A = this chain, B = another copy of it.
């Protein structure tokens, strides 16, 4: 761990993303997702499960006002505890002072305001900002005198706060609120929500810790760890960083905090450990070396761990992060950057267990993997992280949203037979088409906040170096030696590997560090004449006496590549996937007919790239040689089984579309991994 290598994301206010590809995604978020989400938060979407999110804030605010008006005569409302386990009720006219929905419903607002913040940096929008300010007023009105701010407990009884850290998502809501507040402050400079988050954080910091009299708990669903680091980075208040570290350090220590909280649920030894693996609290984090449990929780924790490791220069924690990273990337990640092999607990399965048709691969988990990757990059600029970040972004993350921004996947399988999704309960979690909205709405807003802040994943910087982790059209400014370096990038990604970088960096010792993607074996560089170049950890470092304006042209050849999985991945044995550049491809029934399992790849590919559109959106499709097995009907005879004969086959051209565009043309079969013959 070498802190000279540390870097940090550029402020989004210093980046303007101009990229055709990403601009389009960001526009979808701005024009479709954010407005839709606001309607959803206010229960105004017909046919969608109500969120009750803003209702709950309003109800809590009303109680607050009544309390203040009545002074000490105020009596807490009747305690009507509704467990997380219960399904949210869906009343036509929710009662004014009751809480509805999941316990974590507050976080819907927080994710929304975070996306709004990022979006405003890229696309100022006074109308949206006004709505956001109004929403913040409602939220802040619910905050208690003491700083506490979670409507579930404000409404249902504050005597029960922090009594079920394991399952009630209170610190999760706190974390999201904090992230949203930081983002909105950074975008607009407005402090109101940030101050509210600080007051809540002060409350939490007073409540938790190792000091005598404090509660030694930690979140059941992680996120507060990285949120507190962000709050520290924007406020400079060391207390928040220390609280984040405390949550990381305390996790998984014995005796288990969750045991004390739920003595009735305590199991014996190994069984308890397995149970707590779901929460990544089975072991102290430094002893964890396998990514386990709920995948979103896991990568959120690991992101927080990486933040804390960097800020405390904590070698042992960084070491744990590296092991956990390797566990994911070497044993538990789909080729799409999807993680979470099983829907049971939305969790990682055991090493190399990566079923394609029953995958969970939650959109949020891939997003969390991007968070983790960026934080590892902040510690060490190593392309191993950026390569995975890119893989997840263009595939397992983007597949979560329809091309029109109007429907979403939670689950991102690599093989789908719609009949199975409808008839086989083991696959009911796999949807053959994207859904409008979810009662438990985590993925769409998570997508919104990631996409609208994509610039902060593409670039990090340290004193004099700009690290380009992702190639995308953008304009940005970086301060070096008291001067402003202007950088202007154009890129054909993800459809072609041409990158043009215009620099104005004269009289600075500006260093440009360019990621060399893992999907090409070579590259060409033009311009930057006379530069000292160095390749290190997958980055090309350019140093030189910069001229007034320089233009650097990079070319990363994007060839159609047939990829195989590690031989230990049973589900992919004998199969291959098609990739080109950062894009993973898939076969769809729409292009290739029914029964995709009867298709095979001819390794003499004769691959052809085809400019194409999916639902009007331009993409590069790929065609390769393949076979279709042709069944001889007469062999079927009386039963299912017949003597083996080499299956008759006819040559076909297989038409591949980018994985992230699948299921945009109606319900149909889809397949990433195909047998090679």
Contact = CB atoms under 8 A, between A and B. Distances in A.
Nearest to A564: B644
Contacts of A597: 570, 573
Interface string A624-644: 000001010000101111111
A640 B349 CA distance: 15
B566 A603 contact: no
28 contacts: A329-B639, A330-B636, A330-B638, A330-B640, A335-B641, A344-B425, A344-B426, A349-B423, A349-B424, A350-B419, A354-B640, A384-B638, A388-B639, A426-B426, A518-B638, A562-B644, A563-B642, A563-B644, A564-B641, A564-B643, A564-B644, A566-B640, A566-B641, A570-B597, A573-B598, A573-B675, A574-B675, A603-B646
B638 A426 contact: no
A280 interface: no
A470 interface: no
Contact of A644 (B349, B518, B573, B676): B676
Nearest to A344: B425
Interface string A352-382: 1110001000000000000000000000000
B384 A642 contact: no
A534 to B, nearest CB: 20
Interface centre among A342, A629, A640, A642 (most CB of B within 10 A): A640
Interface residues of A, number: 58
Contacts of A676: 644, 646
Interface in A318-370: 329-331, 333, 335, 342, 344-345, 349-350, 352-354, 358
Interface string A555-572: 000000111111111100
Contacts of A562: 643-644
A342 B603 CA distance: 35
A485 interface: no
Contacts of A577: 641
Contact of A642 (B349, B564, B603): B564
Contact of A420 (B350, B384, B567, B646): B350
B565 A333 contact: no
A629 B575 CA distance: 13
User: Top 4 closest A-B pairs, CB basis?
Assistant: A562-B644, A350-B423, A564-B644, A567-B631
A417 interface: yes
